[in-house]
């Protein structure tokens, strides 16, 4: 019997991934960029047990058994086995996997990113896989490839048909911009009605704005935000982040039938952040929303107390649906430093 437990944090995209050019290989339409949170905060924790006595592979997610026949799990397993260190008995044993998230699953807070990064990382450790594993994590969920590294991470779109050049790299470590903070505002913790996978499939089929974004908008934004991160230009960083989130949700509206991930509270948060930035005479906070109503705010440490007080004032938890928020330092290292 061999057992390993790993943790992996979520990452919050500032340039969004939305749409695949290859469903099976999970190859994206465009580069995406994110920051990885500190693993102490929102994370998946996964224990993998391998034993010659297990009759089949099994997986439990948040205490409930799920099917191991899931093609994404199968693809990850196949690639991990191909890359396994030779002559390892454990590779031929069946496994039992238990994973739990300490934050809402499938609510637009990147659970698939933390979950598959953790799954792939844990089994890579068990099998002695060496080298970059981001392209394997990508086979579980696209966004998962970015959770393998800490700090600021870019998932490269790649050109090849086999996906060999569609992997993630670190743009900058957390020490590059140590004042950066992320606040998560949980507006609604229930499961989204339409998964990210199904939503982006529908957008590809029906949204002309998605095509416009890929052909004419996103490349400049990627370049612009990399420059802003490298130069620690918060204003430019924040503007691109908010515009990209807004364009992603515009694509959701342009999808047919439309996808509405943000709700009334999300829209009030957007208005509040713009009003606050205007009041302060400069851009102090950026919002971004994934495929769900929950907001992630990027801001600098010195502004956290005032912004938290403002959120508390405008959305007192007893009367509004903003339930909690936390200041989250970005993960200080790569996932490999976080092995527990
Ligand atoms: P989210 O916005 O939370 O990423 P998605 O729709 O992208 O939501 O993905 C949710 C799916 O990701 C879940 O239904 C489950 O299949 C998978 N997932 C989430 N957490 C884990 C985990 N810890 N381990 C394995 N798979 C997970
Ligand atoms: C809006 O990575 O969850 O969060 O690859 O189908 O599993 P699959 O989708 P997923 O999509 C994430 C979409 C997003 C933006 C982002 O994280 O870049
Ligand atoms: Co996801």
Does ligand 1 come within 6 angstroms of the Cβ of 121? no
Are the C-beta atoms of residues 112 and 143 closer than 8 Å to each other? yes
Q: Which of the ligands is closest to the CA of residue 8?
A: 1
CA of 112 to the centre of ligand 1 (A): 3
Residue 32, phi then psi, degrees to nearest 5 = -135, 160
Q: Which two tokens stand for residue 18?
A: 């939305």
Question: pLDDT band for position 254 (50/70/90)?
Answer: very high
Whole-number pLDDT of residue 250? 98
Contact 199, 291 (CB under 8 A): yes
Residue 145 in contact with residue 88, Cβ under 8 Å? no
Going by pLDDT thresholds of 50, 70 and 90, the confidence category of residue 84 is very high
pLDDT category, 317, cuts 50, 70, 90? confident
What pLDDT score was predicted for residue 164? 95
* Ligand 2 atom at minimum distance from 138 CA: 5
pLDDT at 299: 95
Atom of ligand 1 nearest to the CA of 111: 3
- Cβ atoms within 10 Å, residue 325: 18
Indicate the SS3 state at residue 140.
coil
* Sheet containing 180-185: order of strands: 285-289, 295-300, 180-185, 325-329
The residue whose CA has the least distance to atom 5 of ligand 1 is: 106
Interface ipTM: 0.99
Q: What is the structure's pLDDT at 340?
A: 34
Rounded distance from Cα 52 to ligand 3 centre (Å): 33
pLDDT interval class at 119 (50, 70, 90): very high
Of all residues in the chain, the percent with pLDDT exceeding 70 is: 94
Residue with CA closest to ligand 2 atom 12: 143
Ligand 2 pocket (Cβ < 6 Å) reads: 13, 16-18, 26, 32, 110, 112, 141-143, 196-197, 290-291
Look at residue 264 and tell me whether its pLDDT is greater than 70: yes
Burial class (CB in 10 A: 0-12, 13-18, 19+), 64: exposed
At which residue do the structure tokens 């933390």 appear? Answer: 114
Hey, which of 142, 221, 241 would you mutate to test ligand 2's pocket, going by the most ligand atoms within 8 Å of its Cβ? 142
């Amino acid at each position: 019997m061999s057992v390993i437990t790993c943790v992996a944090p979520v990452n919050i995209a500032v340039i969004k991934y939305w749409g695949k050019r290859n469903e099976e290989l999970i190859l994206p339409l465009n580069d995406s960029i994110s920051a990885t949170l500190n693993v102490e905060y929102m994370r998946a924790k996964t224990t993998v047990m391998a034993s010659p006595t297990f009759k089949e592979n099994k997986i439990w997610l948040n205490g409930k058994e799920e099917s191991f026949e899931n093609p994404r799990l199968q693809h990850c397993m196949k690639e991990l086995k191909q890359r396994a260190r030779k002559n390892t008995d454990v590779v031929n044993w069946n496994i039992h996997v238990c994973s739990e998230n300490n934050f809402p699953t499938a609510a637009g807070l990147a659970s698939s990113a933390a979950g598959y990064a953790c799954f792939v990382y844990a089994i890579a450790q068990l099998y002695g896989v060496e080298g970059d594993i981001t392209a394997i994590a990508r086979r579980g969920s696209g966004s998962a490839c970015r959770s393998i590294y800490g700090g600021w991470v870019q998932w490269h779109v790649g050109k090849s048909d086999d996906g060999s050049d569609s992997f993630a790299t670190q743009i900058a470590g957390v020490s590059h911009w140590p004042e950066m903070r992320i606040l998560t505002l949980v507006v609604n913790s229930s499961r989204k009605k339409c998964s990210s996978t199904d939503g982006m499939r529908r957008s590809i089929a029906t949204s002309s704005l998605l095509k416009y974004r890929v052909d004419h908008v996103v490349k400049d934004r990627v370049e612009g935000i990399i420059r802003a991160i490298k130069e620690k230009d918060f204003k430019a960083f924040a503007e691109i982040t908010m515009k990209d989130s807004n364009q992603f949700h515009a694509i959701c509206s342009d999808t047919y039938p439309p996808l509405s991930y943000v709700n009334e509270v999300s829209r009030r948060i957007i208005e509040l952040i713009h009003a606050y930035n205007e009041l302060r005479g400069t851009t102090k906070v950026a919002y971004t929303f994934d495929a769900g109503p929950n907001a992630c705010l990027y801001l600098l440490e010195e502004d956290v107390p005032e912004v938290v007080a403002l959120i508390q004032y405008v959305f007192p938890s007893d009367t509004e649906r903003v339930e909690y928020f936390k200041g989250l330092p970005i993960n200080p290292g790569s996932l490999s430093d976080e092995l527990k």
